[in-house]
Amino acid sequence: MTAAGGNGRSGHWEALLFDLDGTLADSIELILHCYRYTMRTHLGHEPDDALWLAGIGTPLVMQLQAFARSPDELLAMQETYRVFQRTVHDDMVRPYPGVCETVDGLARRGIRLGVVTSKHLEMTLRTLRVCGLDEQFDVIITPEDVTHGKPDPESVHVALDRLGVRSRERVLFVGDAPFDVMAGRAAGVRTAGALWGPFGHDGLRDAAPDYLLRTFAELLSLDPDAT
């Protein structure tokens, strides 16, 4: 596969962007653990996990709005979730199989790499460190960097602006959630759905990603010029 970079040669992505939770990091059980604790603390019971899973990929405040009964409770729920997450995070997160090796391989090809996540910066950096991915990415975009979170395309635009990438056609956004695909498509980049996340094929189908990936390592053979 020949390098493209900014010179227009074929067979190479100029940039790859990745969601974090459910895409790079196997952290779904951590997320559910924090959700259950927060609901028990504030509501006295645990609503069905499916209600929370459906919103994974959007900012925490958007998810909690569906459960909070007042603005004050919404703020308190955010604090409860974040404080509890800090106490259990490191023991409940790990990279998905093949992630570290594949990311290293992509970086060696000269492809610009970025993370676009709905997770706040503190825990994003902690997750990347625990997964051994804290030095591989050229840009990291979190809710602190944007006004509108996914599925709005703002975070993708900001990432590409900071990377200095002009050609949207040679950019791929990889995510496990329909919201990732929606954000990527709205930003004019190509998208790949990660089938190892909580949504799977059925959850991603209606979002219509350009590619569906069964393993992370498939990215090494994915050709932007293949028809």
- 5 pLDDT more than 70: no
SS3 assignment for the chain? CCCCCCCCCCCCCCEEEECCECCCEECHHHHHHHHHHHHHHHHCCCCCHHHHHCCECECHHHHHCCCCCCHHHHHHHHHHHHHHHHHHHHHCCEECCCHHHHHHHHHHCCCEEEEECCCCHHHHHHHHHHCCCCCCCCEEECHHHCCCCCCCCHHHHHHHHHHCCCCHHHEEEEECCHHHHHHHHHHCCEEEEECCCCCHHHHHHCCCCCEEECCHHHHHHCCCCCC
Can you tell me the mean pLDDT for 189-210?
93
Give the mean model confidence (pLDDT) for residues 171-183. 96
Angle at 222 between CA 218 and CA 227, to 5 degrees: 135
Give the pairing type, strands 190-194 and 139-141: unpaired
Please determine, for residue 8, whether its predicted confidence score (pLDDT) is greater than 80.
Answer: no
Mean pLDDT of 168-196: 96
User: What is the pLDDT, as a whole number, of residue 7?
Assistant: 36
pLDDT value, residue 92:
97
Residue 2 pLDDT grade (very low, low, confident, very high; cuts 50, 70, 90): very low
Average the pLDDT over 207-224 and give the result: 94
Residue 11 has a pLDDT of 61
Q: How confident is the model at residue 167 (pLDDT cuts 50, 70, 90)?
A: confident
Residues of the chain with pLDDT > 70: what percent?
95
pLDDT digits (tens, 9 = 90+) for 146-159: 999 999 999 999 99
What ranges do the domains of the chain cover? 15-26+95-221, 28-91
- Tell me which CATH code domain 15-26+95-221 carries: 3.40.50.1000
C-beta separation of 28 from 56 below 8 A: yes
pLDDT number for residue 4: 28
Looking at per-residue pLDDT, the higher value among 4 and 223 belongs to 223
In contact, 163 and 138? CB cutoff 8 Å: yes
User: Domain 28-91 falls in which CATH fold?
Assistant: DNA polymerase; domain 1 (1.10.150)
Q: What is the pTM of this model?
A: 0.88
Q: Span 103-109, mean pLDDT?
A: 95
User: What pLDDT is attached to residue 12?
Assistant: 84
- Does residue 69 register a pLDDT over 80? yes
- Verify whether residue 206 is a known catalytic residue: no
pLDDT averaged over every residue in the chain = 92
